[in-house]
Structure 1
Amino acid sequence: MDVRPAFKPNSRMRIASGEFKGRNLTAPPGLATRPTSDRARQAVFNILEHAPWSPGVRDLRVIDLFAGSGALGFEALSRGAAFCLFVETDEAARGAIRETVDAFSLFGRTRVHRRDATDLGQRPGGDGPAFELAFLDPPYAKGLGEQSLARLAAGNWLAPGAVVAFERGVGEAAFAVDGFEPLDTRDYGAARVHFLRYAP
């Protein structure tokens, strides 16, 4: 979750497609989060659902790191993902995610994890299989996403071949994290989304 004041508190976020199309998401109060723009979010999912290298979204287990409002995870669930784990440290943001879970009746397909995405530890063995799709939307230019990728790999959170959509700032330097191979990169305004494959 980014802490830069980048959107108006009265802005509305809606699900773009699928089971919950048009439904509003609960946003954390104030200016504490920077959600991925609607245009970027729709473009990301268009790529995930149609690119030849992508397994799609339907029936996958998803992890949404730096979840904020949970917009990426909820969009995946709307499009048929089997389960989403939302990882978020901010109390207000977790509360907003839980409100949307309640509004969409998604209790059996979601869990909210109060954990720092850069310090995930080992994936609990009783929490089901490893994740096949991951979203990372950290604060820009702090290296937090790169740290989180390394923790996902070290903690066995991702299944081999899992796809990662990682949002960074357009002006940030190139990066590489062991175990992740680049698939595609797209720019949306100030955001650059890197698509990666986990290849341990």
Structure 2
Amino acid sequence: MRIVSGKWRSKRITAPKNLPTRPTTDFAKESLFNVLNNRFDFEEIRVLDLFSGTGNISYEFASRGTVDLTAVDQNRNCARFITATSDALDAGIHVVQADAMQYVRRASTSFDLIFADPPYDWEHHESLVKSILDIGLLSKGGEAVIEHNNQTDLSNLPGFFAHRKYGHVNFSFFSRPQDVAAED
């Protein structure tokens, strides 16, 4: 995997082959960050990366200046790899080894941007989105981005406001329903 932009632009990071992950493609990641770059000042936001896997998305945020960044993955080897890579880069990523849904339900702070990349065969997207919104995990003006496959349609869930497709990678965007209502 490659960091697309920022202070570590073009840096290649090689994850162990035995990690149970499917990193977001460089093309999809670059396209996603082009969208997010128009909405957020990365140096000023608090980011939560759920189902972090190799840490691909977390490194991209850190490279672009995000300093308040939490990466959550339940796999011990993934969490160790993210920690080691973050330390090597001096990225300051706070790594939590935990089940993403349990982390969301127990979180006591809000985030400006939440990115989640669950396994493509995962069937709990609705529960994840509702938990993020119901618990108040998104700060005012915050957004959640869920990566998913072509067969998953999240457009009927509360807070949905946009969908982007890049090859086989899909991103659905959510905000707090009260933020959408305030814009009307």
TM-score, normalised by the number of residues in structure 2: 0.86
CA contact (8 A) 1:65 1:136 kept: yes
CA contact (8 A) 1:134 1:164 kept: yes
Q: Deviations over 1:18-48 (max 9, x none)?
A: 0111223352432610010010000000111
CA contact (8 A) 2:154 2:160 kept: no
Q: Which residue of 2 aligns with 1:35?
A: 23
SS of 2:173's partner is strand
Write the distance in 2 (CA, Å) between the matches of 1:36 and 1:146.
Answer: 21
Q: Which residue of 2 aligns with 1:83?
A: 68
1:47 equivalenced with 2:32 (yes/no) = no
SS of 2:100's partner is coil
Deviates more, 1:59-68 or 1:141-150: 141-150
Q: Which residue of 2 aligns with 1:115?
A: 98
Q: Which residue of 2 aligns with 1:10?
A: none
Write the distance in 1 (CA, Å) between the matches of 2:46 and 2:14.
Answer: 22
CA contact (8 A) 2:54 2:82 kept: yes
Runs of 4+ in 1 over 4 A off after TM superposition: none
| Matched positions, count | 177
Q: Deviations over 1:36-90 (max 9, x none)?
A: 001000000011112xxx2343321100000001111110111121311101000
CA contact (8 A) 1:119 1:148 kept: no
Q: Which residue of 2 aligns with 1:167?
A: 147
Q: Which residue of 2 aligns with 1:67?
A: 52
Partner residue of 1:156 out of 136, 140, 145: 136
1:196 equivalenced with 2:181 (yes/no) = no
CA contact (8 A) 1:28 1:93 kept: no
Percent sequence identity over aligned pairs? 29
Distance apart, 1:175 and its partner CA: 4.3
Give the RMSD, CA atoms, in angstroms. Answer: 1.9
Q: Deviations over 1:119-151 (max 9, x none)?
A: 222323xxxx52101111111242233322222
- For structure 1, the 5+ residue unaligned runs are 1-12
| Structure with the higher fraction of residues in helix conformation | 2
1:139 equivalenced with 2:122 (yes/no) = no
Write the distance in 1 (CA, Å) between the matches of 2:72 and 2:14.
Answer: 16
1:93 equivalenced with 2:71 (yes/no) = no
The one-letter amino acid of 2:164's match is: R
Distance apart, 1:196 and its partner CA: 2.0
Deviates more, 1:35-44 or 1:189-198: 189-198
The one-letter amino acid of 1:190's match is: H
Q: Which residue of 2 aligns with 1:4?
A: none
SS of 2:129's partner is helix
Distance apart, 1:156 and its partner CA: 3.0
